[in-house]
Structure 1
């Protein structure tokens, strides 16, 4: 991919193949001289991470590594990372990886200089104002997947292991100072992760577009992000080395996270408790829920989805878009039901209770009552579109 660009929306983004080489300069820009690289346990020993550490060493940057991070990160991971950061005298964080590494790295940097418990900063009302902004360490984000878009977000999703509840920790200064968006870093992803993260990006764009409220900036970004996923995710599924398509997917991921400032909805409100209780992959769980949520929300979004379908070159109707989503899932080998993830109905009632209090539930186009959440869950469990 020959395209390179520098963007300052919503933060400084160095986009393009090979731009990982600019990481040492990005650290200087962010005011970081001794970074702690935070990533997940599955990524730390892979070539993409080791080459990045070698690049830093060659530039004379003394970087530490923290990788005790689960795929669905828990508060204990954050606490352990804070201890490493403080003990090592690090002055900033490189949040490196997919959603788990990015979110955990950001929350570690946020919490490192705070005195209150992490759950005091959950994304509820103005709780973020409780934080001491001087205690927030600078962050440089380096995504290695094209899905969550956490590299351009002001929050991190962490599971409270005592209640098996995913919680959103938020502060405006959690936004990374600089992002290195290099599509070459995503080439080594397994197909399952490529699809799951790509469908996560699609879910972010789609739910942001469908969320109620007036935000034409978010709507425009979301619509183009949806187009990029539909056109490019099948390409990278078939050819993992297609750098141009990988670049478009990396853009779509950042676009989804930028757009969902407008809101998310029932896809995420149900995916969060299922992921917390069954430890399923977040993006792939979103992919399973997507057509069932669309069907239940149809009355509130039919005209909006028809406009979206027309933009995608489909017949301008809800049915055409719904069919396109189902066809995309088949092409990418996305499971049709939750049962294929070994999810059962034993925790059905609990999932319904958790879904309606999830922070994303309020962005659904129609009120997400417990009955409605359970209806969606039953459809996803059994494949009733």
Structure 2
């Protein structure tokens, strides 16, 4: 179970990996430290980012009061959109450019943290919006220098955005998600307080928790770092599975197997909610140093093309597929396909998630892991495939087209993800038996 399973380095491929991480404070009540942390980072005028729902909660007042008690000038931005778009990112960037803070605090889920990252980037290093966006959608221009300090305070146990250099949004003109990736986007610090998740609806806990599971599973099964061709410039964050990322993936998957269903079904289970938050942190650090692959790449097209689906537990004013849901509905089909690349890793992951892998052979790996994923999905109330969120056979071409630009993710997969392969995977994901 502890073996790294890395083959020898191929000619022209990398022989080393890079580890980056934010400073992390984890534990109940640590949000009260935000004012002191901000002052220690040299902040004097702070932009506090959140969304309208979080801004009405006592924890928002707790953070605001801590900043004010530390003598900081605080300007508020609470207009973050759930599942942000290029338009909402640009609105936040305009606010930051006009407010001219010398530091940022984000309080919310991944949408809030990602929006704050983008606002910080464009206010610090102004450019055309697509300049920094991942190629081939945007220019993929390197972030030219450090950003203002940013303290991220997650309120969900899911995205891991507080410890990654990635920010994701919906590009409205393409009806698909894409993003910006740079180590310089990674928040300076993260204050991870499990108290924030105690009141989360079960549906949100389920979707965000399955995002955690997918981060860990995709990073653990990603193309190994020794298969990444050496290229000019620094290593990408999607450098592939490596010994450092494996550590976080293993423990995150184990915790998911033990606590996910408990955390979804009983909001009063504080132990389960806390362990989910810790798993999210571990998986975030892992995929921030290895990268995810096909399920996430496919999810961006799924979320971007939604028509009428409105999940319970989320705002009902417009159609929405929560990110973790958009990822997990593709996962069983993907891991059936990728299992032949590293059957031992797929079986190990299934075991950590609670599957009985005794007597399973390499040829069983895909079915065993897919079966375990489907068991977990059903246990926490996820749709049984893309068909239950409104997609049909007629959408397969559009879903494939929306996924192909996600080359940063697709190239990190352990098997080739061509257009025909993706179309077949989407077909399999329409409904599971």
- Answer yes or no: same fold by TM over 0.5: yes
User: Match of 2:341, SS?
Assistant: helix
SS of aligned partner of 2:76: strand
Q: Distance in 2 between matches of 1:74 and 1:15?
A: 30
Greater per-residue helix proportion: 1
Superposed counterparts of 1:16-95, under 5 Å = 16-95=27-106
Give a deviation string over 1:13-71, Cα, whole Å, max 9, x none: 11000101101111122222221111233322233323322333344333222122222
Pairing 1:115–2:126 present: yes
After superposition, the CA RMSD in angstroms is: 2.2
Query: Residue deviations 1:345-365, cap 9 Å, x none?
Result: 443212112212213111122
Q: Where do 1:1-385 residues align within 5 Å?
A: 10-124=21-135, 130-133=142-145, 136-214=147-225, 215-260=242-287, 261-278=289-306, 279-311=320-352, 314-316=356-358, 317=360, 318=365, 319-358=367-406, 359-384=408-433
Gaps of 5+ in 1: 1-7
Contact 1:157 1:168 in 2 (8 A): yes
Q: Which moved more, 1:13-22 or 1:92-101?
A: 92-101
Q: Distance in 1 between matches of 2:268 and 2:20?
A: 27
Partner Cα separation in structure 2 for residue 119 and residue 129 of structure 1? 9
CA contact (8 A) 2:338 2:415 kept: yes
Shift of 1:129: 6.1
1:178-231 residue CA offsets vs partner (Å, 9 max, x unmatched): 110000011111111100000000000000001111412212211111111111
SS across alignment from 1:141: strand
Contact 1:119–1:169 under 8 Å retained in 2: no
Q: Point out the more displaced range, 150-159 or 31-40.
A: 31-40
Moved more, 47-56 or 136-145: 47-56
Moved more, 374-383 or 308-317: 308-317
Q: Which SS does the other structure have where 2:169 is aligned?
A: strand
Tell me, what secondary structure is at the counterpart of 2:342?
A: helix
How many corresponding residue pairs? 376
Counterpart CA distance in 2 for 1:368 and 1:285 is 18
Give the distance between the partners of 1:17 and 1:97, measured in 2 at CA: 16
Contact 1:352 1:373 in 2 (8 A): yes
User: Is the alpha carbon distance of 1:338 and 1:88 closer, same or farther for their aligned partners in structure 2, counting shifts above 3 Å?
Assistant: same
Aligned to 2:11: none
The answer as to whether partners of 1:96 and 1:105 remain within 8 angstroms in 2 is no
- Distance in structure 1 (CA, Å) of the matches to 2:20 and 2:293: 24
Q: Secondary structure at the match of 1:60?
A: coil
